[in-house]
Structure formats: C-alpha cells, structure tokens
Structure 1
Amino acid sequence: MINEEIRAKEVRLIGSNGDQLGIKPFREAMQIAQDAGLDLVNVAPTAKPPVCRIMDYGKFRYETQKKEKEARKNQKVVELKEVRFSATIDEHDFQTKLRNVVKFLKEGDKVKMSVRFRGREIAHASIGQKVLERVAAEVAELSIVERHAKLEGRSMIMILSPKVQVQ
C-alpha cells in the first residue's frame, strides 16, 4: 500500500536514506513524504505500528521488475527429452541415438529413453532392458539413473538426469 491507501493512525517511519524517524501520526508522515517529493510506502503492514518508508515508488517498482527479469533470464529450465529405441536396434542406429542422448545431457536436460515392443517382442522384454542398460553404461560419466528400466504397457522406460557440473 502506498500514500492514501494506508489505513493506520500511527506509523513507524523510515526516511528515504534508511534512518529511523520514529513513530509518527499518519498525516505527519504523509506530509514529510510529500515535502520530499516522494511516496509513503507500507513495507511491513502486519507490524504494530505498521512500518512505512519514504521512497520513490515508481523507481522502486522499476528496479524490482528489472531484477526479476534478470533472474528469469539466468535460470535454466530442465526439459525432458525423449529418445526411442527398438529392441532389435542395429549398431549404427544405436550410436546415432546415443549421440543425441549425450548432447541432451550436456545441455542439462533430462533424457527419457524408451523401447517400444511391437508384436511378439514383448515376450523378450529382457532384450529391451539390455539396450537401455547399455545406453546408461555408455553415458555413466555424464548422467545419473533417475528411474531404472521399467515395463509400462508395451514400452520399457528409463530416465537419466545429468550430473551436476561444478564450475
């Protein structure tokens, strides 16, 4: 709340440079803020009496929005990328898909690897599990197994997450 929106008889007043001005009646605090050409901002409404600060509210809002925007720009959103294998995958195809898994892990994304069983392949689920475990072994220095291979319907799924790089 700022200026006239504040509904308190007395406020603890903090000056524009951060010094304590003590407990003042609201009208007097409002007058001090207007004389300085600044706003009276309620920074702690639950305190007894409420704490108000004299500041340029527009400039304060602009700076906080700028800080929030900077924080959003610097944060990394971890995505879940999926790479599909087949139980009877050939060596060259395996290496190509493995390169994609390595690329995703280096970018900091989680990787969901799935083996889709078609027809009677489901009877040999252990073959699909060997494929997933082979991928996990190949990228062991880059990743941690977040979820081990598990059969869900006609698919076997394993999730890898990247190891945290200390810089």
Structure 2
Amino acid sequence: MLGAQVFDAGGQRWTLFLGNAAQCAVEEQYGKGFFAVVADAVPDVDAETALAIASAMSGDAMPSLSVATMEKMASAMRRVRLSVLRDLAWHGLQRHHPGVTLDEVSDVADQLGQHRFGEVIGNAIRAAQGRGEGQKEDDRPVAPGKPSTRRRAPTGKGSSRNGPAPGSTSPPSG
C-alpha cells in the first residue's frame, strides 16, 4: 500500500497508513480538515529550529545554539501537540490493527522514542500529501506499477512519417 509506514515496536510489526479512511476519521474527531489538524499539531519552524527540536527529542547532545534559536525552539516545542500526533497514529493504525487502543499507541510512542515516533508520523503525513517515498526528483509521484517511459525516436519509414511519396497514389477509400 503506497504511503504505509511499517515499523517494529514492542516485539510487534506495525503498519500505519493515513489513507482516506484515517483522514476522514481525524476530520470527524476534530471538526476540521485533516491538514488543518496537522498544521495545528506541528508548528511551522525553520530548519535550524527543527534540527534542534529533533536533537532534543532524540536525546542527542544539544548542538551549540544561539539564544534566539533556543527561544524559537522552546516556543515551537510548547506548540507541538503530542496528543494530536498520538491520535493521528491511532487513526492511521486502525486499518491494519483494528481495535488498537490509545494506550497501546502511547506505549508504541514510548518504545520508539519521540524522535522515531515523530519520524514515522511525519513520513505518513508526507505520503498523505502525495510526497515521500516513490517521488520523482521534481516531487511528482511515480505511478504505482508503471515504469517510467523513455522518449523514443519516431518509427516507420521516412516516407510514411512524411506523407505519401511523390507520385504515389492512395488506394480508393470505400
């Protein structure tokens, strides 16, 4: 399934897919569009701040950051809604793991760690937007099961490409 995120946690293989059914369930739960929910859960941050947040969430040593970047990071971290990320994962897991509970999703998040959990959800969100794995370099999706075609030279004899040869006659149409 294009866009499905497969990962292991707690000795189990999980498949998270934010397809149409999951997106509709999120919209019904929150009373607004899927990508509006995503935008509310994950603040817009610049690359330096995002890197600092990822380092902090993964437990890596913090890079040397300016005071301004630290303030932006703290502000962005206050706006991240972990409950919404958990809900997105819960809805995305339902297709392949019916009956999975919010507590189980929280346990999965704890086992993966916030950085890896966020990575899985981020990949699923990008796939829901039509981006992610299976993308062409210009960010257009590759059609599943369809190899890209190469441009070929015209086929056939030169006379057939350029119309009938001078002095030839066409058979009568009937």
Q: Give me the TM-score of the superposition, normalised by structure 2.
A: 0.23
Greater RCO, CA 8 A, separation 6+: 2
Q: Write 1 or 2 for the structure with the bigger share of helix.
A: 2
Greater Rg over alpha carbons, structure: 1
Q: Give me the TM-score of the superposition, normalised by structure 1.
A: 0.24
Q: Write 1 or 2 for the structure with the bigger share of strand.
A: 1
